[in-house]
Structure 1
Amino acid sequence: MNEVNEIAGAEKQIETLETEVKKFADGLPHWAKFLAQKLLLGNTISDNDIDTSYSYLLEQLKLKVETEKAEISIDYNAENAGNYKSDLLLTKLENIEGVNALTENQTIEFSPNLTIIYGANGSGKSGYVRLLKNVFYSKAPEEILQNVHLDNGHKAVNARFTFKSNNIETLLGFVNKDNAEFEQFAVFDGKSVLNHLERRNEFEFRPAGLSFFADYTTAIVTVEQKLNNDIQAKQLGSTADDLSAMFDGDSEIKTIVLRLNAETSIDDLKRYTPFSDEDKIQKEAMQKQYDELLLASRGKEKEIRNLEGIKGLLAQSKQSIESLNPFFTTDILTKVKTAITDCITKEATAKAEGIENFNTDKIEGVGTTEWKNFIVSAEIFAKVQKAENVVYPDNRDNCLLCQQPLSDEAQKLILDYWAFIKSVAEQNAKQAQEKLDKVQEKYESLTFDLFPQDNTLTVWLSEKYPNELEILNQKLSEQKALAQNIISDIQNKTVNERAEVKISTEQYTDIENAIDEKIKLLKENEQSKELEKLSNSKCFLEHKEKFNVHFSKFETFVNNQVWLKKANKADFAKRKVTDTEKTLSNKYFNQKYIDAFNDECKKLNGNFGIEINHTGTAGKSYRQLKLKGRNPNAVLSEGEQKVIAIADFIAEMQLSPVNRGIIFDDPVTSLDNDRKKQIAERLAFQATIKQVIIFTHDLVFFYHIKNFSKKFLSGINDSFVHHSLERESPLCGKVVANTSPANEGQYNNPTKAEEWLRKSKATNGNDRVDCAKAGLSALRTSYEALAIFTILGGTVQRFDPQIRMGRLKDIKFEKLLIETVVEKHGEISDLIEGHLPSDEFGIVPSPEILEEQIENFKTLKEQLKNLQ
C-alpha cells in the first residue's frame, strides 16, 4: 500500500507543460473538451467540428434533446501539435515572376547553414526580401510591387520555393504560402526595428502547449459567434410591445400579451382558445346592443366634451392672470420707483461732472441723448481711421466732417469728448437708463385683452358667469391703466406713488368645481355605465378573436424567450483561458525568453537596462520592451535600437520549436565596425543552430561574416554559400551564383581574363573590343589578387581588421619585379578607363593586347613565386 502511495505521490509531483495543458482540457465541459481534443491531437478545427461542438453546447443548455455521447479522453502529445518539421530546410528559390523589376528565370540556392547574397544598392535585394517577407513571418510585411517599367502585361506574383525534410524535397509556389513550411521561417529587416521596440508584440513562435490556448480561444469564439447569431435571429422578431399593439383598447388578454416572457405558461395562454361560434354570435349581439345605446347617448357625450374643453380654456386664462399679477405688486412697484429715482440721480451726477463743461451758445441740446449718441458714433468712426492703439486726433489730423485742419483747442475738445463718454458717472447713468428701458419693455409686452368678444370662453362666461367676467375685465382694465402710468413715469422720469392692483383667481376655482360636478353627474348616468360595460365586453371578444388568429405568434415568442434565457447562461470562460495561458507562460516560457534576450544583449554588447513586460489576452502572450518606463526607440541611438531589436528577434527564434530559419536584410546599416563585427559573430553562430540567410550591401560586414563562418562552420560541407546580385538595366536581381567579394581568390590566376580572350577572338567589331576590355578588367583584378596573396602572402586582406603575422614569412619582395607589377597594372588601367582612347596614341583594346598582357602576368607571377 505504501508503495502505491509513493508512486501516486511521485506522479503528482511530476508536472510539465503538457500535463498542465491536459489538466486544463480535462476540466472543460463536453462541447469545449471536444474542440480541445481535436487541437491537442494536431488537427485543424473544421466547420463540421464547430457545428458538432455547438450541438453539444445546445444540449448542455437544455436547448436540444440530449444524446448519448462517447467519453472524451485527452491524449496530449506535443509532437502532434502542428505540421511542423524539425529538420526543414529552404534549399532553393527560383522562377520568380511579377515582382517589381526583378529579372525572371533566376535561381538562388541556399546553404543548410549560412548563405550570403551580396548586392549593391539597386541590385534587387529589396525585391527578393519583399517577396520573402510576404510568404514568411515578418513584423513589417510589405506589399509586393509590380514592375513599374511596364504599363500593362503585368504577371501575377509567383515563385517556386524548394523545401527539404528527411531528404525529401517539397516544391511549393507563392499561392501555397499558407502551408506550414512557410511558418517555419522568419525575416528581420530595418522596417521591423520600430515594431520590435514600439509595439506590444505577440509571441509568434512558442511551445505547442502554449499555442494551444490561442487556437482554442479562436475555436470557442467561433462557437460563441454561432450562438450569438442564433440569439440575434430570435431577438429580431416582434417584441411584447409589438404584439400588444395589435389590440386596440384594453382587456385582460392585451395585458397578458404585454407581459409575455420566458416565465409565461403556454397552458395559461390556451385558456383563451378557441374563439367558438358562440363567441362569434355573442360578439355580434353585443356590437348591435352597443351601437343602439351609443346612438341614444351621443348628446350627453357631446356635452361632456364641451365642458372638458371649457375647463381647459379656463385653465389657460387662469394661468395668464397669474402671470400678470406679479407685475403689479407693491414690492415691484416700489422697485420701479426706486429705479426711476436712481436713474434721475445718476444722470444729474453725470451732468454735473461733465456735461456743464461742454455748454456753449453755438449749439443746442448739449447733454441730450442725441448729443451723447453723436459723440459715441464719432468715436467709433474715428477708430476706423487709425491703426490699433493709435488715438484720433493728433497734430496732423483733419476734422472728420469738414476735412479742415484741427486747431489745438479743437483737438483738446474732441479728446475731452472721448474722456466724457468713458467717465464712471456717464457709464452709471447709461446703465441706469438701460435698466429702465428693460423694465419699460416688459410692461409694454404685457397682454390684457384676455377675453376677446368672439372668443369661445368669453361667449360661455357671458352666458353662464356674466358677473365674474365683468369683474375680471374690470381688474384687467385697472392693471392695463397702471401699466400705462408706469410706462409714462419711466419715459418722463417722474416719481409717483402707485397702488397695487391684483386680480383674484378664486372665481376660476369656483367655476372649475362647478364644471367638474356637472361632468360627474353626466358620467354617473346609468346609460353611460351600461355603455362602458358593453364596450369592455365587446373589446374582450374582439381581442379574443384576434388572439386566436395570431396565437402561433404568441406561442413562438414565449418559446423564443425561454430559448434566449437558457442561451444566455452559456459560459465560454475566456477569462479562465487567458489566466491559465498567462500562468503557464510565466512558468514555462516567459522567463526562458527573458534569459535568452538578456544573453543575446550581453553577447551583442547591448546591456542598456531593457525591461520586458508580459501580458496576455484571448489565449495569446505579448511582450513589450521598456527602458525606464519608455519605449527604447525614444531613448537609444539608432545603432543601439537595432542591437536591441536583433536581440529580441534572435531570442524569440531561439526559443521557437517551430522556427528553422532566419533571414536578415542589411541588419547592420548605419552601424560602426565594432557593432558590425559583434552582429556578424552572432549570426554566424546562429548558423550552427538553424539556417541563416543574409542579404547585404556592406562589404565590411560581409568579410566579418566570412571570417566568423570559418570559426563556427569549419569542417561542415557546403556550410557557407555566397551569391551576388547584379543589375541589368532596367531590370535587376540577376543572380551570379557562387560569386561575391568573398571569392576574390579566384583571380589568383588569369582564368577569367583567358575566358574573355577566347570570347574576344570569336567575335567581331565592338563586341570584340568590349570582350577584350572585360578581359583586361579581369586581369587588373588578378594583379590586385597577386598583390594580396602572392607579394604580401595574405598578411593583409581587404576589410579584414587583423594582420596575419604568421604569414609575414610568405612575403615576396624584389623591388624591380614589384615596380614591373605596378607598371603593368597602370598600363591595363589606362586601356580600360571609362574615357575615349587617346587621339594621339590611338590605342584600342584588342585580343592581341589582352593576350600579350596575360603572358606578361604569368611571367611576373612565376618570377615572384620563385623568389626565396
Structure 2
Amino acid sequence: MTAGPIDEIEVWSKKLAPWRQDALRRLAVSNELSGGDFDDLLAMIKEAAGFQLTTPVPAPVPFAKVHFGGGKRKPIVLKSIANVQNVNRLVAKARLDFCPKALTVIYGRNGSGKSGFVRILRTACRTRVENPAKLKVLSDVYGGSTVPQSAEIIIDAGKGDTPVVWTAGMIAAPELTPIAVFDTLSAQLYVDGGSQIRYLPFGLALPHRLNSVCLKLKESLDAERLAVVGDKASLTEIIFPVQRDTKAQLFGRELDRATTDAKIDDAAKFSAVDQERLDEIAAILSAGSAAVADLTALIGWVESIADECETAATAFSDTALFGFTTLRNSAVTARQTAQLSASALFTDEPLPGVGSESWRALWAAARDYSVSDAYGSAEFPVTKTESGPANCVLCQQPLLPEGTARLQRFQKYMDDTLDVAATKAEKAVTDAVDALPPLIQLSAKGFADRGEQIRQREPKLADALLSFQLSATQRRQGAIARLAGDDSASVPALDSPHALMKELAKKLKDEKGALAKAGAAQERERLASEKAELEDKKILATNRTKLVKRRDLLVTDAAYAKALAEVQTTGITKRANDLVDKHLTSAVVTQFDAEREGFDIMYLNVGLSRKSGQTKAEFEVDPKTKLTRVTSEILSEGEQRALALAGFLTEVTLTDESGPIIVDDPVSSLDRDRSARVAKRLAAEAHQRQVVVFTHDIIFFNELCGAAEGQGIEPTTIALFGDQNAAGKIDAAGMVWKGLNVAKRIGKIKSDFAPLPKLLASSPADYEYKVKHLYGRVRDTYERVVEEIIFRDIVRRGTDVIQTQLLRYVSLSDALAIRFHEGMTRANTHSHDNPAADTVPVPKPEDFNADIVALEKLVLDLKAESDAAEKARPQMKPRK
C-alpha cells in the first residue's frame, strides 16, 4: 500500500469525532474489533448522547499513521480437511491432504464425494454465496447417523499446523477468510451479482470497515431503543372522554422531555375545593340549560365515536388481522422450536414434558416462591447454602448432586436463545392484545340511546353506525381469537362511518351555536368552559404517574436519537468511495479485461460498472443493454461460467492478503478450447498462490496437469470414488489409468511389476495372468506415446482442439519408427490371447524389464528427435 491513501485517510480521520478516530485506530492495529472494543465504543457514544453510565469509558487515542504498521502477514496455507463426520455420504473420518505450495487436482466421477468436501469449505471459508439455505450442508440423509456434523480444516498461518473446527451452520471462521471458494452457486452471483471486491487493500478497507462498525453500533442502539422505549410512550397517553382544547389536554399533548416535575405537579393539581366547584357548576348548568347540555354532550359523543370508528377501521383492517395471525404463528413456531430444543436436550430426564407450557408455569411459580419466601433475593435456582446443599423449593428435600445438576440444566435452557426468542414472541402477542382499541364508546351501555338520537336526525347514518358497531365488535373478537391462535372464524366487511360522523358533529356545533345565540348567556358558556377545565384537570391528576413515565421515556428516546445521529455513515461512505475510485477502480477494470481476454470472451459486450454501498465498494457486471439488467438472461451457460471465472480471478488477484483458492468444476458448460484456457490460467495462478481444483472431467484433468507440468509445476493429484456404502474414499492406487500421462503410466507399470518375479516362483499361472495384463498396459502406453510424445498432443482423443503450431515438433525417423513397431508388436503379442500350444512362451521377468527399458529409452529418443527437429526448422511466429 503506498503512502498516499494512508496519508489521506489519516488527515480525513482527524476531522471525525473522537470515538470514530478511536475505532479507526483499533481497526488499523487489530484488523478487527473485539467484543470489548465494540462495547467501549458503544459506551463512548452513549456517554456523548447524555446517558448516565456507571462504568468508566476509556479515553480515545487519536488516529495516526503509525497505527498502520508495516509489512504483510505470512500467507495462509491450506494443509488438509480431516475428521469429517456425518456430511452427505462422505465416509467417516474422511480426509483430504493438499499440496501446500502449488496445485492440487482432485478427480472423481459423479457421486464420488467431491461436492461434500466443497460444501464444507465454502461454508467455512470465503464465498460469494450468502443465502443460509444455499450454504446448508446436509448430513447423511440415508445413513441415519446421529453424530454431530463436524470437520477439521488444517491451516498453517505461520505458526505450524493449526486445526480450525467446522460445524454445520457456523459463521465463516475469520482465520479462513483469505481462502476463496468458487463453485456453481457462486458463479451465478459473479454474473448477476457483480464481481464484488469484499476485502479491499488495507488502507482503503479502513473507512469501509468503519462503516461496518457504525452500522453494527446502530443495530445495537436500535435494539436497545426498541427494548427500552419501543411504543411504550404511546401506552402512557391519557384518554379524555371528550377531545377539547382545555389547558389539561393541551399540557398532555405538549408534554416533552424538557417538562419538569414541578410543571407536571402544577398541571395535575386537583384539590377538594376544585371538586366542590366542579359539583356546583354541574348543578347550575343542568338546572338552567338542559337542551344546550344535551347537545353539548351529543357533540362530544359524536366526535369521540368518530375518532373511535377511525381508529377501529385501521386497527381491525384485513391487513391488521392478517398481521395478528402472522404474529401468533411466529410465537407458536418460536415456542415449538424452543420445545423441540428442550425435547432434544432433556431426553434423559425422569419425566417428560420439560420445556412445555405447564412445565414453564411450574418453573415460574417455583422461582417466585424461592425469591419471595424461601431464599429471599438469592439468585434462582438456589442449589447450596452456607450450611450445605439447599432444599428443593418443590419437594422441600435437600438437593442431591443429580438434582442440583438438573436444576442447572433447566436454568440454562430457560436462558437459551430459543426460549428467550419464544418468550419475546409470546410477549409481542400479549402486547398486541393489550394494544387493541377497547371500543369504549361502541360498547358503552348508552350506545343504543345515542344511536336513536342519531336516527332521529340521519337514519342512514344510524344504520351505518350500528352496522359498523357489529362489524368492529366481531373483528375485535376475531383479532383476539387470531392472537390466541384461532383464525377459522370469518369476519364481516368493515366500512367506517367516521367521515360522516365528523360532518354530523360540525352540523351539531352549528346548531349549538345558533341555540346559544338564541337563548344562552355568556355566563353559561363561561361556566361550561370552567367545568370542562376542571373535569380534564381531574383526569390529569388521576394520571400523573403516566405523565412522569412518558416524560422519562421521551428523555431516554432523545438520548438514543442523539446517539444514533453519531453513527450516521453518509459522510464516511462518500469519502471511502472517493478513495476507492482514486486508488482501485482502474486496477479492477484492467484486471477484469485481462482475465476476459485470457478466456477469449472480450467479444462479449459486458464490463464492470462501479457502484457503492454503505459498507463496501462493489463492481457489478454491466451487460450494457437497456433490455435487461440480468447478464444470465443474455449469455450462454458457457459464457456465463467464463465470465464468472474472470470475476472470481479478478477478485482474488486484487484482494489484500488473498490466500489459497478452491475451484470446483470450473469448466462446466465450457467448450474444449476455453477448457484448455482455464487449465492454463489456473496453472499460472498456482505460481502465485495455493490452488485446489475439484473436477469430474478427465479431459480437463489431463489439460490442467499438462499445463502445470508445462510451467514447471508438479501437481498433486487425488482420485476420489464412492460405492454403495459411502463416498469420499481415496483411491490408494492414485489416478485412474486414463488420467495418467506416459511417464506416470510407465511408473505405475514398474510399480505393479515389482512383486511379480517372486510370484513366478510360487505360482507360474498367476504370474502369467498378471504379466499378460501388464503387457496390455504397455500396449496402452505405446498408444498414448503416439498422442503425447510423437504428435506432442497436437490432437487429443476426446477434444476438438488441434494445436497446429506444434507441428514443428513432429518428426519420426525410420529407426525410431521400427523401434516403436517392434515394441508395440511385443506388447500386442504378450497381451493378446495366444494358442494353447505354447508357441508363444511366457516372457520372463528379465524380458519384461527389458521391454520397459526399451520403452523408456524410446520415449527419451523420441523427445530428443522432436526437439532437434524443432530447432532445425526456420523460426515460426507464435499464433496469437
Please, what TM-score do these two structures have when normalized by structure 2?
0.60
Structure 2 CA distance for aligned equivalents of residues 736 and 617 of structure 1 = 48
Alignment of 1:224 onto 2:223 = no
**Alignment check: 8 A CA contact 1:213 1:620 kept:** no
**Alignment check: 8 A CA contact 1:251 1:540 kept:** yes
Give the structure 2 partner of residue 414 of structure 1.
none
Displacement of 1:138:
2.6
Give the structure 2 partner of residue 28 of structure 1.
16
**Deviation by residue 1:421-475 (Cα, 9 ceiling, x = unmatched):** xxxxxxxxxxxxxxxxxxxxxxxxxxxxxxxxxx999xxxxxxxxxxxxxxxxxx
1:539-550 paired onto structure 2 within 5 Å: 547-548=540-541, 550=543
1:596 to 584, 591, 595: 591
Displacement of 1:44:
3.5
**Alignment check: 8 A CA contact 1:42 1:80 kept:** no
Alignment of 1:37 onto 2:29 = no
Instruction: Name the aligned partner's letter for residue 591 of structure 1.
Output: S
**Deviation by residue 1:381-401 (Cα, 9 ceiling, x = unmatched):** xxxxxxxxxxxxxxxxxxxxx
Alignment of 1:202 onto 2:202 = no
Alignment of 1:178 onto 2:172 = yes
Displacement of 1:183:
0.9
Give the structure 1 partner of residue 364 of structure 2.
none
Give the structure 2 partner of residue 120 of structure 1.
109
Structure 2 CA distance for aligned equivalents of residues 307 and 651 of structure 1 = 78
**Alignment check: 8 A CA contact 1:290 1:534 kept:** yes
**Alignment check: 8 A CA contact 1:213 1:577 kept:** yes
Displacement of 1:578:
1.8
CA, structure 1 residues 758+223, in 2 after alignment: closer, same or farther (shift >3 Å)?
Answer: same
Give the structure 2 partner of residue 91 of structure 1.
79
Give the structure 2 partner of residue 137 of structure 1.
126
Structure 2 CA distance for aligned equivalents of residues 289 and 866 of structure 1 = 128
Give the structure 2 partner of residue 656 of structure 1.
655
**Alignment check: 8 A CA contact 1:95 1:104 kept:** yes
**Deviation by residue 1:49-97 (Cα, 9 ceiling, x = unmatched):** 4443333334434455999973521135686699x94321112222222
Give the structure 1 partner of residue 827 of structure 2.
821
CA, structure 1 residues 135+285, in 2 after alignment: closer, same or farther (shift >3 Å)?
Answer: closer
1:109-508 paired onto structure 2 within 5 Å: 109-111=97-99, 112-140=101-129, 142-150=135-143, 152-166=144-158, 168-175=160-167, 178-229=172-223, 231-232=225-226, 233-234=228-229, 236-239=231-234, 242-243=237-238, 245=240, 251-262=246-257, 264=259, 266-272=261-267, 279-280=271-272, 282-283=273-274, 285-286=276-277, 289=280, 297=287, 301=290
Alignment of 1:610 onto 2:606 = yes
Q: SS of 1:690's equivalent? A: coil
Displacement of 1:785:
2.5
Structure 1 CA distance for aligned equivalents of residues 284 and 659 of structure 2 = 96
**Structure with max Cα Rg:** 1
Q: SS of 2:729's equivalent? A: strand
Give the structure 1 partner of residue 680 of structure 2.
681
1:765-780 paired onto structure 2 within 5 Å: 776-780=772-776
**Alignment check: 8 A CA contact 2:84 2:150 kept:** yes
CA, structure 1 residues 779+274, in 2 after alignment: closer, same or farther (shift >3 Å)?
Answer: same
**Alignment check: 8 A CA contact 2:742 2:784 kept:** no
**Alignment check: 8 A CA contact 2:87 2:139 kept:** yes
Q: SS of 1:595's equivalent? A: helix
CA, structure 1 residues 854+723, in 2 after alignment: closer, same or farther (shift >3 Å)?
Answer: farther
Give the structure 2 partner of residue 52 of structure 1.
40
Structure 1 CA distance for aligned equivalents of residues 648 and 531 of structure 2 = 82
Q: SS of 1:728's equivalent? A: coil
**Alignment check: 8 A CA contact 1:92 1:107 kept:** yes
1:623 to 619, 624, 629: 619
Give the structure 1 partner of residue 790 of structure 2.
795
Give the structure 2 partner of residue 553 of structure 1.
546
Give the structure 2 partner of residue 574 of structure 1.
569
Q: SS of 2:232's equivalent? A: coil
**Alignment check: 8 A CA contact 1:40 1:81 kept:** no
Alignment of 1:721 onto 2:716 = yes
**Deviation by residue 1:121-179 (Cα, 9 ceiling, x = unmatched):** 333322322332232223346432333442x2253332222212336111222237733
Displacement of 1:517:
9.3
Instruction: Name the aligned partner's letter for residue 615 of structure 1.
Output: K
Structure 2 CA distance for aligned equivalents of residues 514 and 861 of structure 1 = 121
Structure 1 CA distance for aligned equivalents of residues 833 and 711 of structure 2 = 42
1:740-819 paired onto structure 2 within 5 Å: 740=735, 741-742=739-740, 744-748=742-746, 750-754=749-753, 776-785=772-781, 794-796=789-791, 805=810, 812-813=818-819, 818-819=824-825
Q: SS of 2:790's equivalent? A: coil
Structure 1 CA distance for aligned equivalents of residues 512 and 205 of structure 2 = 82
Structure 2 CA distance for aligned equivalents of residues 755 and 633 of structure 1 = 55
Displacement of 1:685:
0.9
CA, structure 1 residues 545+589, in 2 after alignment: closer, same or farther (shift >3 Å)?
Answer: same
Alignment of 1:735 onto 2:735 = no
CA, structure 1 residues 811+43, in 2 after alignment: closer, same or farther (shift >3 Å)?
Answer: same
Structure 2 CA distance for aligned equivalents of residues 308 and 185 of structure 1 = 76
Task: Structure 2: state its 5+ residue gaps.
Answer: 299-454, 458-509, 797-802, 862-880
Displacement of 1:655:
0.8
CA, structure 1 residues 564+763, in 2 after alignment: closer, same or farther (shift >3 Å)?
Answer: farther
**Deviation by residue 1:296-338 (Cα, 9 ceiling, x = unmatched):** x37x6369969999xxxxxxxxxxxxxxxxxxxxxxxxxxxxx
Displacement of 1:762:
12
**Alignment check: 8 A CA contact 2:112 2:728 kept:** yes
Please, what TM-score do these two structures have when normalized by structure 1?
0.61
Displacement of 1:654:
0.7
**Alignment check: 8 A CA contact 1:78 1:208 kept:** no
Displacement of 1:751:
3.6
Give the structure 2 partner of residue 711 of structure 1.
710
Q: SS of 1:823's equivalent? A: helix
Give the structure 1 partner of residue 671 of structure 2.
672
Task: Structure 1: state its 5+ residue gaps.
Answer: 1-13, 310-454, 458-512, 831-840, 844-848
Deviates more, 1:88-97 or 1:47-56: 47-56
Structure 2 CA distance for aligned equivalents of residues 597 and 308 of structure 1 = 78
**Alignment check: 8 A CA contact 1:786 1:861 kept:** no
Structure 1 CA distance for aligned equivalents of residues 103 and 828 of structure 2 = 37
Q: How many residues were matched structurally? A: 619
Displacement of 1:113:
0.5
**Alignment check: 8 A CA contact 1:262 1:558 kept:** yes
**Alignment check: 8 A CA contact 1:775 1:850 kept:** no
**Alignment check: 8 A CA contact 1:577 1:619 kept:** no
Displacement of 1:653:
0.6
**Alignment check: 8 A CA contact 1:203 1:623 kept:** yes
Instruction: Name the aligned partner's letter for residue 606 of structure 1.
Output: I
Displacement of 1:805:
3.9
